[in-house]
Structure 1
């Protein structure tokens, strides 16, 4: 037997020579396993493990320590399996541009520029690397009134029905609407009908309803607030040691929760293959667009928005899976987002699915086109868009300003042809110096934060060479200060999503997208609630728990009336809901000394008794009876 590590998993090969496998295992993999288990073991166990020469002992401890995390429960059906493809994304967004060895180190010579053009050492212009674009060294006319920007006509905050959303459940239902619940319920039932013949008992594959789907989503939110979304479901439902989550097992059984995780669908599985011929995103496209419409119809964003990308962690089969080494997850589904920089309200999303088949969903994936599609809901509103150097370009800034009436602030990559050579990183440039270049409608600045580095930004919102006095010795231009204040919107959303993440471990990428929509809906609902209650201090965990309870409550009420549900669960459910316990009708007169089972004792004990409770007329053994006087009994 050979023990080896492949893809992070320990595997056994029983066809190998025992002596060879021990030598291979302990010489090559012992250090790796110790590092994996180092923070999870007591000192005594660690010493015992170090002295052990039995691979089976290593395997046992490794799997015990790994059993806390949930394994995927929702395998894909044969007709749902799609091609697996991994694409390396070049979305590198570091602001500081470093001096490279093949770049010119000094000031460019005059013969670089064509005859008749102004040279870079002119007192008037810088000239771009394309030998065409001119950047004035000073503002054209200081006597002219500065053009106004970012004057929005509508006050930021909730709009339409969102202004009347007073409670937590009202806020979340602005985004998680009834038609979404109905669509998920119908799609899930279609899939259950398809697979129910694989189950021996009909009750194991019974159809679901809107009440149960709402409760299922509420459980996901509740588990997220407990930071247990990746925890094994059995640990959450098992209350044998008093550590289970009561709301979860009162709403549905663990088996039912796992069944819904496996069968949850967002489209008609019967017509998916036809829709996939023109859209790779077909399994969740319709619900995704409803969520986006709800995001845009219930809130007015502030004057500062940011475009950036999310990476939704996923390592299963997907034809448009991305690899971004700079992201914590590294592998996953890339989604572009338009977010309010002040409130972290997500206003628009666009998934990256690679090259689409010919049809209505085939669009260009160039950065300029992605930004133009994202800002479409806010075009003509005089807002400012902030973006990193993957999105930024001079043609984009010009098009946003002239056609969309939107200003732009963003970093530029040093390979852009419009950038003058003087703006690039150089060895002889002093730290904290800034070069400004002025065009008719936008401004470029190059700032040197440290030796051999430069940060280059473009802005159509700034038209002077102002330095932020609050920056002190750093002497930051106001363009950079503005960029730093408004660039964190999507990163803030990522952090908030991760803190109370609802995502369970899954092998299906539509579930990953759905989990992200739920996370964003909770954040957006919090923004609406805070705007409607400015005097309240709202903790997001309490807010999510409140509407999660309201989503789960109808299911608990229904389950408390089902006779087949265990008696103790029904009793706990009614107690939690504040309802009086339903007492059975009084039994007929029981003959004296009539023997029956104690109604409190378990079946395994099977205790018989003649004693009868004078209040409920039920038989109870002496262990569950108490002697009280008539005075105390009357109280």
Structure 2
């Protein structure tokens, strides 16, 4: 379903050829899909602890999946590149949940927030944790940003990686504490953070574009650079090397001095954004009322993207010269389905037992009695008609040409009058 992004789930099984997706409809009926979607669970609800317990896990519904995915993401199967980025990723959700966040400067403003560590070159997700709020035990005397980065860094320590993060996370203490873990880091920083030079936050409005100033204390180098506005960064990996940056001034491109630290940060900070971009192309999730299903679809997408990246790196003899994520997802679908279908009736196998009342036959659409059990009448389902007991209306009759079940009394003519 991530390949065909239809508005309604019912459209995959639509009788309208312009909407119907045969690759989905022939595998199982919509009723079976709804039941599978209804009963899917990742934990036993009977084991759920008391929500009033201070140690209650707000991710209890998905905890086995989250732990399994993060454990596999950091296994020896994939060795991340030197440059990694830490940032937040949003899972779009507007329902009711204590985990829901509002971030106005994000494209997806409402949703569940995930902290992510991703490879800056490929977008491979190395670690992803759902933010559960202050009651989830994610607070810290050094601030939430500090604890998030330190938690992510433990999975890649001792390998001389270079982490990049924005000013929400960056502080001098964080960079200092990452050095003993053999991790270098660079990030934009808020100029009023504790431990920075006193004149670091001074802003000379008359300063020329391209002007910069450097400070160093121990392993940390700080830079203040004037672009359109002042940019502040600190790093334990970059020095005071200067390069050139192109800017458009008065309709012409001009080169201005630019610290190498700024160029390096802009080049490698986008790992999580790259993963978000890949995840947005073919999302598998469907609209749901339960928040935990959005987390389920989020990790399914992460697994598919990581698998596609691994496949491209490991397999040299690919089926196509340009093997896209869509091609990979289609091959995964073929492998999972493997020719299975739960449908016992095919259009070519329909046996006409009797032709019913001539007046019901509309424009070549013959009302017949199908072999096998009753199925839900398509027209009654559209009109939301129910039996006296509140159950869907079922019929053994239907249209031979359209291969849909319809009630003998009126629904056949009504269905094809609308279709015509």
TM-score by length of 1: 0.51
1:85 maps to none
Once residues 50 and 30 of structure 2 are traced to their aligned partners in structure 1, the CA distance between those partners, rounded to angstroms, is 35
Note closer, same or farther for the CA distance 1:237–1:416 as it changes in structure 2 (3 Å cut). same
Q: How does 1:36-51 map to 2 (within 5 A)?
A: none
Q: How does 1:347-366 map to 2 (within 5 A)?
A: 347-356=126-135, 364=140, 366=144
Q: For 1:391, which of 166, 169, 184 is the aligned residue?
A: 169
Once residues 190 and 165 of structure 2 are traced to their aligned partners in structure 1, the CA distance between those partners, rounded to angstroms, is 12
Once residues 393 and 544 of structure 1 are traced to their aligned partners in structure 2, the CA distance between those partners, rounded to angstroms, is 41
Deviations 1:461-503 (A, max 9, x none): 013x211246561321110000000111111111111111112
Once residues 349 and 290 of structure 2 are traced to their aligned partners in structure 1, the CA distance between those partners, rounded to angstroms, is 35
Greater share of helix: 1
Q: For 1:509, which of 275, 291, 310 is the aligned residue?
A: 291
1:482 maps to 264
Deviation at 1:507, TM superposition (A): 1.4
1:434 maps to 212
Contact 1:424 / 1:454 at 8 angstroms: preserved in 2? no
3-state DSSP class of the match of 2:74? helix
Deviation at 1:533, TM superposition (A): 2.8
3-state DSSP class of the match of 2:61? helix
Provide structure 1 residue ranges, at least 5 long, that are not aligned to the other structure.
Answer: 1-222, 572-583, 585-595, 607-635
Deviation at 1:268, TM superposition (A): 0.3
Deviations 1:216-251 (A, max 9, x none): xxxxxxx212233xx211111113435311121111
Deviation at 1:420, TM superposition (A): 3.4
2:302 pairs with 1:525: no
Once residues 306 and 404 of structure 1 are traced to their aligned partners in structure 2, the CA distance between those partners, rounded to angstroms, is 16
3-state DSSP class of the match of 1:312? strand
2:385 maps to none
2:236 maps to 460
Once residues 300 and 605 of structure 1 are traced to their aligned partners in structure 2, the CA distance between those partners, rounded to angstroms, is 61
2:154 pairs with 1:379: no
2:182 maps to 405
Note closer, same or farther for the CA distance 1:568–1:310 as it changes in structure 2 (3 Å cut). same
1:416 maps to 193
Note closer, same or farther for the CA distance 1:517–1:569 as it changes in structure 2 (3 Å cut). farther
2:221 pairs with 1:443: yes
Contact 2:138 / 2:147 at 8 angstroms: preserved in 1? no
3-state DSSP class of the match of 1:444? strand
Deviations 1:567-622 (A, max 9, x none): 33879xxxxxxxxxxxx9xxxxxxxxxxx869xx997257xxxxxxxxxxxxxxxx
Q: How does 1:91-170 map to 2 (within 5 A)?
A: none
3-state DSSP class of the match of 2:305? helix
Deviations 1:318-356 (A, max 9, x none): 112111111122111110000000110000011110123
Q: How does 1:199-214 map to 2 (within 5 A)?
A: none
Provide structure 2 residue ranges, at least 5 long, that are not aligned to the other structure.
Answer: 247-253, 356-363, 370-420
2:119 pairs with 1:337: no
Contact 2:120 / 2:269 at 8 angstroms: preserved in 1? yes
Contact 1:304 / 1:386 at 8 angstroms: preserved in 2? yes
Deviation at 1:549, TM superposition (A): 2.0
Contact 1:250 / 1:569 at 8 angstroms: preserved in 2? no
Note closer, same or farther for the CA distance 1:570–1:339 as it changes in structure 2 (3 Å cut). farther
2:340 pairs with 1:555: yes
1:498 maps to 280
Q: For 2:47, which of 241, 266, 271 is the aligned residue?
A: 271
2:386 maps to none
2:104 pairs with 1:325: yes
2:389 pairs with 1:604: no
Larger radius of gyration: 1
2:413 maps to none
1:3 maps to none
Once residues 498 and 410 of structure 1 are traced to their aligned partners in structure 2, the CA distance between those partners, rounded to angstroms, is 26
3-state DSSP class of the match of 1:282? coil
Note closer, same or farther for the CA distance 1:405–1:242 as it changes in structure 2 (3 Å cut). same
Q: How does 1:252-291 map to 2 (within 5 A)?
A: 252-274=28-50, 277=53, 278-291=56-69
Deviation at 1:534, TM superposition (A): 4.7
Once residues 423 and 605 of structure 1 are traced to their aligned partners in structure 2, the CA distance between those partners, rounded to angstroms, is 81
Note closer, same or farther for the CA distance 1:337–1:499 as it changes in structure 2 (3 Å cut). same
TM-score by length of 2: 0.76
Note closer, same or farther for the CA distance 1:272–1:437 as it changes in structure 2 (3 Å cut). same
Once residues 553 and 568 of structure 1 are traced to their aligned partners in structure 2, the CA distance between those partners, rounded to angstroms, is 21
2:373 maps to none
Contact 1:305 / 1:386 at 8 angstroms: preserved in 2? yes
Note closer, same or farther for the CA distance 1:429–1:534 as it changes in structure 2 (3 Å cut). farther
Contact 1:424 / 1:446 at 8 angstroms: preserved in 2? no
Once residues 51 and 23 of structure 2 are traced to their aligned partners in structure 1, the CA distance between those partners, rounded to angstroms, is 39
Contact 1:304 / 1:383 at 8 angstroms: preserved in 2? yes
